[in-house]
Each structure stands twice: as C-alpha cells, then as structure tokens.
C-alpha cells in the first residue's frame, strides 16, 4: 500500500471513530452518587448534600430526599429544584432560607 493511501485510510478511521466517541463524552451526566450509594440533603439548607452507602441511615443533620424528588444527576430537574427548596426538621418541604 502506498504511503498516501495508508495515511488516507488511517485518517478515515480516526474520523469515523472520533465522532461517536466525542458524542458519548458530551452526553454523559455526572451522577449524584457512586454505585451503591444514595444522595441525602442537609436539613434546613440548600448548601449541603452527601452520599450514603445503601443500607446505612443518613448522618445527623441529613435526611433522605422525599420519594419521587430524588436528584439522579448533577443539573437534573430535582437537583435544580433543591437549589431553592429544602426539608425542615419535620420532613416538610419548604422554600430555601
């Protein structure tokens, strides 16, 4: 195979694989927690969150998100919602202080 032909073939291969790979990297979302963990929020605040190992209870001062309102990825619907809302000590959803 001539040198020009090899370069053209290699270029075509790189271009054909670069598109799908870059598309995947831009579509991936950052998960709130790692595998085997669930997110919790700080009671009465929007400035705190943590990840707790599945099966463990949240640490003091933290609580589980209300069912159906758990953020899964950074910037998703519920992550954005909890920037302006919180849960009080009784578990009631309130506007953020």
Among candidate residues 50, 44, 49, 42, the one with its CA nearest the CA of residue 88: 44
Confidence at 2, pLDDT banded by 50, 70, 90? low
Question: Among all chains, which residue has been given the structure tokens 């700080």?
Answer: 42
Q: pLDDT tens-digit profile of 3-57? A: 554 544 444 554 554 544 444 444 457 999 999 999 999 999 988 889 999 999 9
d(CA 47, CA 12): 48
The pLDDT tens digits for 30-41 are 999 999 999 999
Give the whole-angstrom CA distance, residue 46 versus residue 31. 18
Span 78-93, average pLDDT: 94
CA atoms within 13 A on the CB side of 25: 6
């Amino acid at each position: 195979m001539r040198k020009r032909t090899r370069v053209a073939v290699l270029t075509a291969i790189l271009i054909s694989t670069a598109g799908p790979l870059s598309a995947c990297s831009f579509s991936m979302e950052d998960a709130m927690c790692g595998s085997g963990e669930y997110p919790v929020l700080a009671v009465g605040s929007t400035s705190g969150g943590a990840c707790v190992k599945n099966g463990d209870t949240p640490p003091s001062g933290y609580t589980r998100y209300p069912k159906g309102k758990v953020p899964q990825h950074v910037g998703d619907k519920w992550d954005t919602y909890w920037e302006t809302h919180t849960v009080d000590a009784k578990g009631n959803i309130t506007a953020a202080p």
